[in-house]
Amino acid sequence: MEGEQLSTIALITFMKSISIIFPVCISLIILSAFFEGCYYDNEELLYGGGAACDTIQAKFSTDVQQIINSKCAYSGCHDAATGAGSTVFSDHASISGKSGRIKDRAVVQKTMPPSGTTALSDAEVIKLKCWIESGSPNN
């Protein structure tokens, strides 16, 4: 009889602990599934992508400078008079000095030029990307 009472007490204790642990485990599983579903990484940042730059010859003088002058260094933006964000794009040194930022904002995030202005074409984005990835040469 005493053995039955001990096993009953053990069973009750076990059931009480299960009734506490089980909801906690279920909650953790649901939370982990919820957070696992939130995925905001930018594929371009993680894996690169776009055109293969080994086939595209982007030159500063004929490609990049024209893109920057028409889409970035105009009145009210990154010209000498305005210098938006304390950035002026006037020559190779000023443009190549910000090449990492240009790649991030114009090529990857596509937040530059800002909305309300003429966006970069796919060909312009590829030329900027390839010029930057080739070391931003003054060619």
> Domain locations in the chain?
1-40, 50-133
User: Would the pTM count as exceeding 0.85?
Assistant: no
Sign of CA dihedral 118, 121, 124, 128: positive
How many CB atoms are located within 10 Å of the residue 34 CB? 9
| Residue found under tokens 């060909």 | 123
The model's pLDDT over 13-69, given as tens digits with 9 standing for 90+, comes to 777 777 777 777 777 777 666 666 555 555 555 555 556 788 888 999 999 999 999
The length of the chain is: 139
